[in-house]
Amino acid sequence: MTVQDTPATSVRPAQRRNRAHEPEAYDFRRPTTLAREHARLLEMAFETFARQWGTQLTARLRVMSGVTFDGVALLSYDEYVRALPSTTAMVLCTVEQTRQTAVVQMPVSALMVWIDYLLGGNGVGDEREGRELTEIELTLVRDLLQHALGDLSYAFAALLPLDVSVRSVQYNPQFVQAVGASDSVLVATFTLASGEREDTATFMLPAELLLASLRANEGTDARTADERRAHALALVELDAAVQEVPVDVSVRFAPVTVSPRDVLGLTVGEVLPLSHPTTKPLDVVVDGVVLARAAAGNNGSRLACMVVTVEENH
């Protein structure tokens, strides 16, 4: 069997895929998001890691390989696990600085292709469902991943020392409790290419591990004067735009409780008594939140209400 030695210069550069520039809805009920400045620093670090990882794969597998960084997101651990396939390789790693758990996740079939290349094969792999790694295969994968994860120290040198060591492999994400279900985690997504095959992999780290270091460095503003002026102008324009956003305001009586039987029996002309006293102001409501109280009245030929009190805690 002949093993073809592919020079390192043929490694495909790790560049992010073109993304559609479409706005994403912001959920105000879930304000835990990644600041733009933090995201930019993390993206630079993960892109560096992706380039190094691609070089490692090409050198070790002896086949054209590359790793493309797709993006990083701040999620809860439960959200991360629920988005994974029911069966996949969860490579549990230890972050030496804090003894916390990190996870490298990828399809088992992708690992089998790597093993085939490592043993001099042509990358056929093993697509059998439910296949788990043997002890020998696990040793090969652990060695391959450990060399790749060793480049994290170089990639994250500007943020914090990051030494990660491979510990074990699990195959059911639902049974892997790396951190608390509600704990925030950073999830980097990569596309792995080995020969003609492409797979998606994720790398999960406890969020506080990196965010604490990023916050500690926030005092240093590396932006140029033009960038700071543009940022200040953007804040002013955002504030002005928010003030002009139209919202639906409603005025409502106090709710009345009825049984399902009464609701189903409603007919045209039937009177539904309200329990709202005539002396009690009505609620002024925006998106289900009571902002004020108002007295009913009219403005010319139209119905109207006059605000009599304003809720302070809304």
What are the sequence ranges of the domains in the chain? 8-225, 249-310
Tokens, residue 12: 């495909």
- Whether the pLDDT of residue 196 is over 60: the answer is yes
Q: pLDDT band for position 28 (50/70/90)?
A: low
The pLDDT value recorded for residue 279 is 83
Rounded to an integer, the average pLDDT of 198-214 is 90
Rg of the chain over CA atoms, in angstroms?
29
- Whether the pLDDT of residue 228 is over 70: the answer is yes
- Whether the pLDDT of residue 10 is over 50: the answer is no
Beta bridge partners of 197: 194
For 105, the enclosing helix (H) or strand (E) is strand 100-106
pTM for the model: 0.62
Residue predicted with more confidence, 10 or 286: 286
Overall fold of domain 249-310: Surface presentation of antigens (SPOA) (2.30.330)
Task: For residue range 237-254, list pLDDT tens digits in order.
Answer: 998 898 888 989 998 888
How far apart are the C-alpha atoms of 231 and 226, rounded to whole Å?
Answer: 9
Does domain 8-225 match CATH 3.40.1550.10? yes
Report percent pLDDT > 70 for the chain.
87
Task: For residue range 177-189, list pLDDT tens digits in order.
Answer: 899 888 999 999 9
